[in-house]
Amino acid sequence: MTGMDRKQKRVFVKTYGCQMNVYDSERMMDALGSSGYSAVASPEAAELILLNTCHIREKAAEKVYSEIGRLRRLKHDAAASGRQVLIGVTGCVAQAEGQEIMRRAPEVDLVVGPQSYQRLPDVVARAAGGARVVETEFAVRDKFAALDRPIAAREKRYSAFLTVQEGCDKFCSFCVVPYTRGAEVSRSAAAIIAEARRLAGDGVREVTLLGQNVNAWRGETPSGRGLGLGDLLFSLAEIPGIDRLRYTTSHPRDMDDVLIAAHRDIDAVMPYLHLPVQSGSDRVLAAMNRRHSRADYLALIDRIREARPDIALAGDFIVGFPGEEEADFADTLSIVDAVGYASAFSFKYSPRPGTPAADRPQVDGADAADRLSRLQERLGKAQADFNSSRIGMTADVLFERWGRHPGQIVGRSPWLSPVQVFAPESLIGSISSVVITGCGSNSLFGCLPVDLDGDAPVLEATA
């Protein structure tokens, strides 16, 4: 190992789950960068392999153990040639099953929960010395302070995540997040604004604020006046270079008037809102402890649409929740029709150990699977309707990278849908006006309104 110490060490991070994990993985790499690790793109090339895991559904959690199984050989082969490879588990499975991971998977050297990442460099050093370390204390404030460092120079990009809030106090009866991420904690407005300025300085034009329950963000002014996410958006929109703001994911109970007004009054706040409803049935919503009714949700959607008529709405749904009957499911289908979602995620209920709904009588698996496929068909149709309603519109697209076919570049519309356009690479990083000419199931297709010499209009772009 002595030769190793003098060489640059390499870390490979595999990320599962939500965008918060994507953000955390980057911060972990930044933190490890300070202790001499550089990031690599394959586990074979690394001396440290981190699996940043998700516990939201059983399948997500089980993936971790099968991945560890695959890495076992790699670790042993490396050891046979005198090279130490450390395997670490971070994220929500680490938090929920810390000791159990160590028991089930002897090749795991370290387990670090999402609230302890500031300790990662130290934990890695101890593991390199031969200890097996489990670190799952809750100390969110330490985490934000310690990881709030200048962002390392990395690949140029125009859209970035910024965590503003972590944890959840809602305790929906199906969900592990309040247990794995802990109570709601907000970062200070000053720290968030400073990070957004740094991102803008790095050329980032679009910032997506992240939180498990992002619209529960709370802050205060230096004089002690309380602030909500809407106020934060008003401040962030003032930062030169930040042209687009998004936030995700929101709870219906925390959509207040200022936040709705932000959609009406701030050009930079994009017309897109991910506002999960989970079910259209009041009986099921109550059993889920969602703390809102179907009517509350629909009234809220009306207020949001009044403020921003072109907003694209996204949702999350769970089918087969304990006690859900066919009539409840019919209410879910009808709320899909009533809202007109631009996109949605839908899941079969997965009982999670330690959550209240896990112990209730379960819906038959085949019924749940059947409902899921019927719901997905309905959601697919809603998405197709939304996408085709965009054809003929002109929309600003922030071009981010090469597209699917040679000569194509791709960016996001204000409604978050990817837009594929035949256009010069030089437009990557710019926001350009695009005429939407067609759509596929997930993407839109478009063309620039005039060619680059400014004379003949581009008549057609094909997929």
Interface pattern 141-170 for ligand SF4 (x via CB under 6 A): ---------------------------x-x
Q: Compute the least distance from the CB of residue 296 to ligand SF4, in Å.
A: 15
Q: Which of residues 95-134 bind ligand SAH (CB under 6 A)?
A: none
Strand partners, 431: 398
Pick the stretch among 81-89, 169-177, 238-246, 364-372 that binds ligand SAH (CB under 6 A).
169-177
Candidate segments 202-210, 261-269, 305-313, 343-351, binder of ligand SAH by CB under 6 A: 343-351
Distance CA 250, CA 290 (A): 13
Residue 91 interacts with ligand SF4 (CB under 6 A)? no
Binder of residue 92, out of ligand SAH, ligand F3S, ligand SF4, none (CB less than 5 to 8 A by kind): ligand F3S
- List the single partner that 349 binds among ligand SF4, ligand F3S, ligand SAH, none, CB under 5 to 8 Å by kind: ligand SAH
Q: Is residue 57 a contact residue for ligand SAH (CB under 6 A)?
A: yes
State how far the Cα of 424 lies from the Cα of 430, in Å rounded to an integer: 11
93 or 423: CB nearest ligand F3S: 93
Task: List the single partner that 178 binds among ligand SF4, ligand SAH, ligand F3S, none, CB under 5 to 8 Å by kind.
Answer: ligand SF4
Piece of the chain touching ligand F3S by CB under 6 A; list 38-46, 117-125, 172-180, 402-410: 172-180
CA angle 363, 369, 375 (to 5 degrees): 105
Select the binding partner of residue 21 from ligand F3S, ligand SAH, ligand SF4, none (C-beta < 5 to 8 A, by kind): ligand F3S
Positions 13 through 52 that interact with ligand F3S (CB under 6 A): 17-18, 20-21
Q: Find the part of the chain contacting ligand F3S (CB under 6 A) among 12-20, 31-39, 217-225, 351-359.
A: 12-20
Q: Does residue number 248 form part of the binding site for ligand F3S (CB under 6 A)?
A: no
Question: Cβ of residue 196: shortest distance to ligand SAH, in angstroms?
Answer: 22
- Each residue 233-272 as x (binds ligand SF4 by CB under 6 A) or -, in order, gives ------------------x---------------------
Shortest reach from residue 171's CB to ligand SF4, in Å:
6
**Chain residues that interact with ligand SF4, rule: CB under 6 A:** 168, 170-172, 175, 177-178, 212-213, 251
